[in-house]
Amino acid sequence: MLFLVIAIGTYAQAPRLETKRDSVVVFFKVSDNTLYPQYKDNGTRLRALAERMASENLNKAFITSGSSPDGSLLFNTNLTKARSRSVQDYLSDSLGVERSKLVIDNKAVRWNVLEYLVSRSGKPYSDKVLEIISGNSESRRTDLLKALDGGKVWSDLKAEFFPAMRSTFVVLEYEVEVPEEVPAEPRKVVEDIPRVETISSDAEVSGPVAEKPVEKPAETPDEAPSGQPVAEPVVSVAPSALPSPRAWWVKTNLLGWAVFQMNAAAEVELFNHVTFSLPVYYGSFDWFVNTIKFNTLEVRPELRFFLRKNCTGPFAAIHGTLGIYNYALGGEYRYQDHADIDENGRKHFNPAYGGGLTLGWRFPLNIFGTDRWGIEAAIGAAALRLNYDTFYNVKNGNFAETGIKKWYYGIDNISVSLTYRFDSKRRFRR
């Protein structure tokens, strides 16, 4: 009896503990599992977390990576595992946290995060998306979402919400004393739900921050009962408007290659919706016979304006054209830009020049586990000032007429291009 009385008294005097959670978000580039400490200030947040674990002797940190539904399931699963291991290695090898305290707890596709974000977005398609998520299997959801509104909803989801689904969180669990007069109420622990301020497509994480979920926030400690002080968070997760990196594209016109025009182009994002593109074309080959050719050296700079802020979908462009040319289409004459010869015998060419408008559409492709690849179709018309000579269309044919000057009005470019996107560390957008 004496032992029982002592045990009951000891239990009654023991402090009551409640489990709390704080978290830190870690940002990765799209389709990349390398942790860059300087990228979006990852290193600062993780150092603060490691210091807190050491100073307060906290026992566990759960590393949770998730994925979005674009890309293959195998690729996403391997990517989330590799990202979690990358965070675990950095905390252990670089910051000295005991590896046994770092528990990897990955998620598959974070449908609950998408459901949470869409339900609070006010998007016109929100009800349809939520109905698909709640009423279908995981394998069926992706196909149904891609089919909504001809793919427009899927493109918007990729730009606005998918980056938040790809975030990696390091979550601390710790215990705090609860005053005896206020009993600890059990609560359900929910997964960290990030919020997206503005996101680029591309694909990389570009601005999720901590937000309160429906029940208790995972990133913000619980309010202490009876006016007790609230535990400090590990670190402020991120500013509310992290800008995205600007994007670069390299591309080549497949139709150009089909007519023996070697070509390549570079494009850079200047601002939301606005890019600058510079294609270069060069051709010096006959089309199997010397009476058919389209030899050029041409540049066509373009300033493009996209309807979508991630620079995909429809666009219009203002372009300029500057080029020298030598072409024949099997008829009686060959046409070549006029060359003036100075007193030293040097040729000075008179290239075609002018400008016009281009209309086009960029389609992202989800291949090889990434959306960096794309197809771009465009057509443009221009007014070009010409100064050219005509020759008889035979081998080494003589002049027929020289110094013809005129304006050309009509189509000056058609392209179906294969594109690939890069993301720079310099930030311009959002």
Task: State how far Cα 101 lies from the chain centre.
Answer: 33
Report residue 384: phi and psi, to 5°.
-120, 135
Q: Helix or strand or coil: residue 130?
A: helix
Q: Which residues contact 98 (CB under 8 A, 6 or more apart)?
A: 92
> If the chain, 430 residues long, is cut into consecutive pieces of 10 residues, what is the mean pLDDT of each piece?
51 56 79 83 86 78 82 77 88 85 80 87 90 82 86 88 78 62 50 43 38 37 37 37 64 93 94 93 86 90 91 94 91 89 80 96 79 91 94 86 92 94 55
Residues making up the chain, counted from first to last: 430
Residue 369 has a pLDDT of: 61
Q: Exposure of 41 by Cβ count < 10 A (0-12 exposed, 13-18 middle, 19+ buried)?
A: middle
Residue 11 has a pLDDT of: 45
Residue 429 has a pLDDT of: 37
Domains of the chain (ranges; CATH) run 12-242 (3.30.1330.60), 246-429 (2.40.160.20)
Question: Does the pTM of the predicted model rise above 0.75?
Answer: no
Residue found by looking up tokens 């500013």 in the block? 239
Q: Which residues, in sequence order, are bridge partners of residue 341?
A: 347
Measured CA distances, 428 to 168, 340, 423 (Å): 24, 46, 11
Q: Which helix (H) or strand (E) holds 194?
A: strand 194-196
Residue 303 has a pLDDT of: 97
Residue 18 has a pLDDT of: 61
